[in-house]
Amino acid sequence: MGITGRTERLPGAAAHPAAPRGRGPVVAALMLGMALAALDGTIVSTAVPQIVGDLGGFAVFSWLFSGYLLAVTVTLPVYGKLSDTFGRKPVLVAGIVLFLVGSLLCALAWNMAALIAFRVVQGLGGGALQGTVQTIAADLYPLAERPKIQAKLSTVWATSAVAGPAVGGLLAGYADWRWIFLINLPVGAVALFLVLHYFTEPARPAPTARPRVDWAGALCVFAAGTLLLTALVQGGIAWPWLSPPSLALLGGSAVLVALTVAVERRAAEPIIPGWVWRRRTIAAVNLALGALGLLMVAPTVFLPTYAQSVLGLGPIAAGFVLSVMTLSWPVSAALSDRVYNRIGFRRCAMLGIGLAMLILLAFPLLPFPGEPWQPALIMLLLGAALGLFQLPLIVGVQSTVGWSERGTTTASVLFCRQVGQSLGAALFGAIANAVLLARLGGGSLDSVSHALENPATLTASATDGLRRAVDSAVDHVYVGAAAAAGLALLVLVLVAPRRFPVIQDKGDV
């Protein structure tokens, strides 16, 4: 039943139903599964020097992250549709098993090529983990209680962001880099045990016809996504943007996107159904969270460089400047229901992203070189603002669909956020590189990179010039991130409906 009135009246907002028996172990399994995916990037990044020293392959080590990201992103829509068709449990179990198999193979890798291939296997499992965990969380809790589970999952990401580098550094420094993959095995085994023994999906009416899987559409989505994300991730790094490899990948991805649209229109059960974009609420949330992925590149990618090169902090202190954002984000998300219960999902998200835009615009106003507490304060405020933005949109869009569409809807949202992040890395990387070269009067990016890694080789004047160039480049990136926030705000104003068409929870777990 739709919600009427001035704002969304959330079903069950006045009284929270008692937790179903057995829900606790399932929630623990979801948090462990999310921890596997959340820890992956941060724990691996700190061990790169040891991995390269052991296996070689410095020229291609970035594919340890790019390959994983590609596999996660392009499989999200596929897993979302499969979970709506066959249920959440088999997809989640398959995802955990794939992730653990990939982790074991990574620990046994004999060279960099093998490790990259096995990271892709990990990513195939990670795609199932990310999308299905979020979907089951919405299935488990009625609308009024969903902020609780989303806050718990956000806390997992925050803890992983802080603990991941430390754990990875300890394992790589005092044990062996292979343990950063082996440590996944006991964690995943516990999650798998809890899912198999405690997670029971509700009985559903038997389908009138045998479910059909759109394998042609899945293949097209996978191929188009792989080419597009490869172009975005490697463009300007492995080869120039206007070089034959970039143009070939972008052209090929455009052709495959057109082929995907044609295949999906003819499919009986498409992987990416048209209603994902025809419904204003889902389309608006997809675009808004795509812009979120875009703007998140500024703090997560460029702030650590700013903290080390401009402020002169060490890696651990630079990580702390960024990590304060992950502390305020889950707290703000947990309290966001008090805001959107009063003013609605759309207005709460508009408030959050509007504040985020102003906070991002404040970054270029920081003095040079400044004090570490200044960017840390900005990150603390940014996390609080984004908690008011992201969670209401995810909870809201999941509440506008029933069980049979929730997996596809959740996957589409996460897919758009991942694509936005890849686009942001390419776009803001190009902006930062252009500003650096302009401020330094030409030269090559390789020489700039060498100077950043070895500042002791520079004179005092050259060091100051380099610091000012990095400061200017990061300022431009933050202005770009503020523009992405403005784009998200514009989408919510022009595309999103004034009231999300929330439906009553029926037949969920």
User: What is the per-residue pLDDT for 1?
Assistant: 30
* Unique residue bearing structure tokens 């840390």: 376
User: What is the per-residue pLDDT for 446?
Assistant: 56
CB atoms inside a 10 Å sphere around CB 453 = 9
Which band of pLDDT confidence, cut at 50, 70 and 90, is reported for residue 8? low
Which band of pLDDT confidence, cut at 50, 70 and 90, is reported for residue 131? confident
Tokens of 132: 């299905």
pLDDT in tens, 411-459: 889 889 888 887 887 788 888 878 887 887 765 555 565 656 566 666 6
Residues forming beta bridges with residue 235, ordered by sequence position: 239
- If phi > 0 it is left, if psi is from -120 to 50 it is alpha, else beta; for residue 313 that is beta
> Which secondary structure element, helix H or strand E, spans residue 380, and what is its range?
helix 373-398
User: What is the per-residue pLDDT for 58?
Assistant: 63
What is the rounded average pLDDT for all residues in the chain?
A: 81
- Among the residue ranges 253-262, 294-303, 346-355, 379-388, the one predicted with the least confidence is 294-303
pLDDT in tens, 102-120: 999 999 998 888 998 999 9
Tell me the C-alpha to C-alpha distance, in Å, between residue 283 and each of 2, 400, 497: 19, 12, 10
* Unique residue bearing structure tokens 């623990």: 28
Which band of pLDDT confidence, cut at 50, 70 and 90, is reported for residue 316? low
User: What is the per-residue pLDDT for 459?
Assistant: 67
Q: How far apart are the first and last CA of the chain?
A: 19
Classified as helix, coil or strand, 9 is coil
Q: At a CB cut-off of 8 Å and minimum separation 6, what does 430 contact?
A: 236, 241
φ and ψ at residue 371, rounded to 5 degrees: -110, 150
**pTM score, whole prediction:** 0.81
> Which secondary structure element, helix H or strand E, spans residue 326, and what is its range?
helix 315-335
Tell me the C-alpha to C-alpha distance, in Å, between residue 58 and each of 42, 123, 211, 465: 19, 21, 46, 29
Report the C-alpha gap between 79 and 85 in whole angstroms: 10
Taking the C-alpha atoms of 116, 158, 286 and 402 in order, what is their torsion angle to the nearest 10 degrees?
A: 110
Report the C-alpha gap between 146 and 138 in whole angstroms: 6
pLDDT in tens, 349-364: 999 999 999 999 999 9
Report the C-alpha gap between 220 and 509 in whole angstroms: 33
Report the C-alpha gap between 162 and 149 in whole angstroms: 20
Which band of pLDDT confidence, cut at 50, 70 and 90, is reported for residue 204? low
Per-residue pLDDT, averaged over 208-228, amounts to 78
Closest CA to 72 of 234, 181, 222, 185: 222
What is the Cβ-side half-sphere exposure of residue 79, based on CA atoms within 13 angstroms?
Answer: 35
CB atoms inside a 10 Å sphere around CB 385 = 25
Report the C-alpha gap between 238 and 250 in whole angstroms: 15
* Unique residue bearing structure tokens 């959050």: 352
